């Protein structure tokens, strides 16, 4: 299995021998990944290769079948010496996953709540923050993504790019250490992609740790510290952008890039 680590420092995300099956369909087949603080790791590959499932396992939206996931040294999934999964309580898992923020393909905003109400929902309900504190943080995050003027606007009246920026502000409002992006531009019209990538680039400049599943090859090449190529539930290669995009080891990657670039 290719190594996905470029440093010996303690990883903030550590995935070992991760398997995920849906019935008889095995979607992840022994994935190993390490992500270090401040790294930007892009995951690319064809549709159905397991990229999104990997992210959903990291934040426990999918329960793993086998394997170990540790977030900042704390396990949310662990395989014991007998090959059985250790059982953690939902409280333990939720607490550990609060270090992660996730942005989905299709925004997942509450349609009956304004932009600000969407952003402060989790701080109020999950983190039990005082309302004044949640509003102050929420307004700051909307300003960060350039949407201060949309605080009282409902999602129906926002463009796709604006909705996705609200979704990013919502994730940031929980003050995560690590951001996960699952194809954040795939549901956008081409002219709106840049405004969302611009926000992600600003986070990169602030050294936010990020794992980004993306089909934007230019973004992956420009901003990533490492790029992981997945196919058929496995990691085929993990390398620097320069290496993977100019001289990949595997012919499957070369064939994919010829179609994408």
pLDDT in tens for each of the 261 residues of the chain?
444 544 457 899 999 999 999 999 999 999 999 999 999 999 999 999 999 999 999 999 999 999 999 999 999 999 888 888 998 998 899 889 999 999 999 999 999 999 999 999 999 999 999 999 999 999 999 999 999 999 999 999 999 999 999 999 999 999 999 999 999 999 999 999 999 999 999 999 999 999 999 999 999 999 999 999 999 999 999 999 999 999 999 999 999 999 887
pLDDT of residue 261: 73
150-168 as b/e, with b when 16 or more CB fall inside 10 Å? bbeebbeebebbbbbbbbb
pLDDT of residue 8: 54
pLDDT of residue 6: 47
pLDDT of residue 73: 95
Q: Which string of DSSP letters, residue by residue, matches the chain?
A: --------SPPSEEEEEEEEEETTEEEEEEEEEEE-TT-EEEEE--TTSSHHHHHHHHTTSS--SEEEEEETTEEEE-B-TTSPBPP--HHHHHHHHTTEEEE-TT----TTS-HHHHHHHHHHHTS---HHHHHHHHHHHHHHTT-GGGTT--GGGS-HHHHHHHHHHHHHTT--SEEEEESTTTTS-GGGHHHHHHHHHHHHHTT-EEEEE-S-HHHHHHH-SEEEEEETTEEEEEE-HHHHHHS-SSHHHHHHHHHH-
What global pTM score does this model have?
Answer: 0.94
């Amino acid at each position: 299995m290719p190594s996905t680590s470029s440093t010996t420092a303690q990883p903030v995300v550590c995935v070992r021998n991760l398997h995920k099956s849906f019935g008889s369909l095995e979607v992840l087949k022994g994935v190993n990944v390490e992500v270090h603080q401040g790294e930007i790791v892009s995951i690319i590959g064809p549709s159905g290769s397991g990229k999104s499932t990997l992210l959903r396992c990291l934040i426990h939206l999918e329960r793993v079948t086998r394997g170990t996931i540790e977030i900042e040294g704390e396990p949310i999934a662990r395989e014991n010496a007998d090959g059985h999964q250790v059982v953690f309580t939902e409280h333990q898992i939720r607490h550990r996953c609060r270090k992660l923020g996730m942005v989905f393909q299709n925004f997942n905003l509450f349609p009956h709540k304004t932009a600000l109400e969407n952003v402060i929902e989790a701080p109020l309900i999950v983190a039990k923050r005082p309302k004044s504190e949640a509003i102050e943080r929420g307004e700051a995050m909307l300003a960060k993504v350039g949407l201060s003027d949309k605080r009282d606007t409902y999602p129906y009246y926002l463009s796709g790019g604006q909705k996705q920026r609200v979704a990013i502000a919502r994730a940031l409002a929980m003050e995560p250490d690590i951001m996960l992006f699952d194809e954040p531009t795939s549901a956008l019209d081409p002219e709106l992609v840049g405004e969302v990538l611009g926000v992600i680039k600003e986070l990169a400049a602030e050294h936010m740790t990020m794992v980004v599943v993306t089909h934007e090859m230019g973004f992956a090449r420009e901003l990533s510290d490492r790029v992981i190529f997945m196919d058929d539930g496995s990691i085929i290669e993990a390398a620097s952008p320069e290496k993977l995009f100019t001289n990949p080891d595997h012919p499957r990657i070369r064939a994919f890039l010829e179609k994408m670039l």
